[in-house]
Chains A and B, each alone.
Chain A
Amino acid sequence: MDILEEIKNILAEILDIENRIITPETYLVRELGAESIDLLELAVAINSGFNIDVNDDKIFLRKLRQYVTEAKQQNNDLLQYLVEKFPFLSRKRLEEIVTDLEGGPALKVKDLISYIYTSKGKNHGT
């Protein structure tokens, strides 16, 4: 089973929803309504299902807004700063996230997939 399918099944079970409504572009918090306790369960399931260490702050982009503020305060190049903080996300994806901040938590299913690929040492080209 590929990573997307496995993630969809995990999310469907945790959030008690149908997995067919989940795509790589689905927002976890904005669309699926995932709460902090759901994200904790998700982290544990990813750790166990993919046999990788999960840093909850990283995979769920918890410090994203803090990093944006820091970059501005320190007059750093914002995208470069975020690339360093979230090495599992592509520059293109980070550009997308930066323009999407006002809409709410930017975390999407595809970000989880990127984290898992990177942790497993694979390159999936996103």
Chain B
Amino acid sequence: MKFTGNRALILGGSCDLAITFAKCMIEAELFPILTYRNKKGRKYISENFKDCQKKYRSLYLEFGNRDSIDSLLHQTGDDIDFMVDFVQGNLESLVASVDAEHVYSYFAENISFRAEIVKKVARIMIKRKKGRLVFISSAAAKRPNPGQGFYAAAKLASEAIYKNLGLELGGHGITTVTLRPGYIDSGRGKKFIQGHSKEVIDKVPIKRVLTKKEVAEAILFYLSNSATGFNATEIPMDGGLTSGK
């Protein structure tokens, strides 16, 4: 695969999928800059990249803390070719029983904050006249389970932000794509899958869950030159989960 650029800002860099993806990047001789929100995240990243010290960087970014955006971008400078956004806080609650205060803060963190960082990174990319952004959404955006209404709402709103960026700046060399993975044997989905394995497998036409590695490789493809024709759109990667009834 060929890439126009080398450095990718990876938001939510301490999740397992992001780490797997960053390793794929390093294999492809690209340079990942992973963000973490706390010491635990920073430690987890450094443990995972013990053998490739100079091939990545980790920087602090906490969704909801607006000062952390400027601090992050001050450290990266304008040297950002790609951005891959894995961040998503979780708010699992039935709509009729949610804590209203939590809804306000959840949307501020997961939508408004995201809009701000997307804006700032896009402006860097405008200067460079190139850039590719990949948002990692979820099959739940299309087909949420009970309790996932707010999670799905935040994903759909974020998808819209990325979609419009691709519409508005595609002519300036800046494109976006959203990937909607289904059940992955990773992160918060892993626990759910372990508790509901038969139910999950029955729902997925390919009769298996996705591996971190195959999703990470797909994301890498969507950063490549061959994939820039995919712009301002959402792509399901869920084994057919959301295509049927």
* Interface range on chain A (Cβ under 8 Å from partner): under 10
User: For chains A and B in complex, what number of residue pairs have CB atoms within 8 angstroms?
Assistant: 15
In the assembled complex, the Cα of A43 lies from the Cα of B168 at a distance in Å of 15
Q: How far is the CB of B9 from chain A (nearest CB, A)?
A: 18
Which residues 20-55 of A have a CB within 8 angstroms of B? 37, 40-41, 43-45, 47-48
Residue of B nearest to A47 (CB): B123
Q: Is B126 an interface residue (CB 8 A)?
A: yes
Q: Is B143 an interface residue (CB 8 A)?
A: no
Q: How far is the CB of A54 from chain B (nearest CB, A)?
A: 9
**Given the complex, which residues of B lie within 8 Å of A37, measured CB to CB?**
168-169, 171-172
**Given the complex, which residues of B lie within 8 Å of A44, measured CB to CB?**
123, 126-127
**Given the complex, which residues of B lie within 8 Å of A45, measured CB to CB?**
127
In the assembled complex, the Cα of A40 lies from the Cα of B168 at a distance in Å of 10
Q: How far is the CB of A58 from chain B (nearest CB, A)?
A: 16
**Given the complex, which residues of A lie within 8 Å of B126, measured CB to CB?**
40-41, 44
Instruction: Specify the main secondary structure of chain A where it touches its partner.
Output: helix
Q: How far is the CB of B52 from chain A (nearest CB, A)?
A: 32
Residue of B nearest to A54 (CB): B123
**Given the complex, which residues of A lie within 8 Å of B171, measured CB to CB?**
37
Residue of A nearest to B129 (CB): A41
In the assembled complex, the Cα of A19 lies from the Cα of B60 at a distance in Å of 43
Residue of B nearest to A49 (CB): B127
Q: Mark A107-121, 1 if CB is under 8 A from B, else 0.
A: 000000000000000
In the assembled complex, the Cα of A45 lies from the Cα of B169 at a distance in Å of 15
**Given the complex, which residues of A lie within 8 Å of B123, measured CB to CB?**
43-44, 47
Taking a contact as CB atoms under 8 Å apart, the answer to whether A48 and B168 are in contact is: no
In the assembled complex, the Cα of A48 lies from the Cα of B78 at a distance in Å of 10
Q: How far is the CB of B6 from chain A (nearest CB, A)?
A: 21
Q: How far is the CB of A12 from chain B (nearest CB, A)?
A: 16
**Given the complex, which residues of A lie within 8 Å of B127, measured CB to CB?**
44-45, 48
Q: How far is the CB of A41 from chain B (nearest CB, A)?
A: 6
**Given the complex, which residues of B lie within 8 Å of A41, measured CB to CB?**
126, 172
In the assembled complex, the Cα of A41 lies from the Cα of B123 at a distance in Å of 8
In the assembled complex, the Cα of A51 lies from the Cα of B52 at a distance in Å of 35
**Given the complex, which residues of A lie within 8 Å of B169, measured CB to CB?**
37
In the assembled complex, the Cα of A40 lies from the Cα of B171 at a distance in Å of 13
Residue of B nearest to A48 (CB): B127
Which residues 114-141 of B have a CB within 8 angstroms of A? 123, 126-127
Q: Mark B159-182, 1 if CB is under 8 A from A, else 0.
A: 000000000110110000000000
In the assembled complex, the Cα of A79 lies from the Cα of B126 at a distance in Å of 36
In the assembled complex, the Cα of A41 lies from the Cα of B124 at a distance in Å of 11
Q: How far is the CB of A26 from chain B (nearest CB, A)?
A: 23
In the assembled complex, the Cα of A42 lies from the Cα of B168 at a distance in Å of 15
Residue of B nearest to A45 (CB): B127
Residue of A nearest to B126 (CB): A44
Q: How far is the CB of B173 from chain A (nearest CB, A)?
A: 12
Q: Mark A44-74, 1 if CB is under 8 A from B, else 0.
A: 1101100000000000000000000000000
Q: How far is the CB of B169 from chain A (nearest CB, A)?
A: 8
15 sampled A-B residue pairs with Cβ under 8 A: A37-B168, A37-B169, A37-B171, A37-B172, A40-B126, A40-B168, A41-B126, A41-B172, A43-B123, A44-B123, A44-B126, A44-B127, A45-B127, A47-B123, A48-B127
Q: A40-B126, A40-B168 are in contact. List 4 more A-B contacts (CB 8 A).
A: A37-B168, A37-B171, A44-B127, A47-B123
Q: Which 3 residue pairs spanning A and B have beta carbons closest together?
A: A44-B126, A44-B123, A48-B127
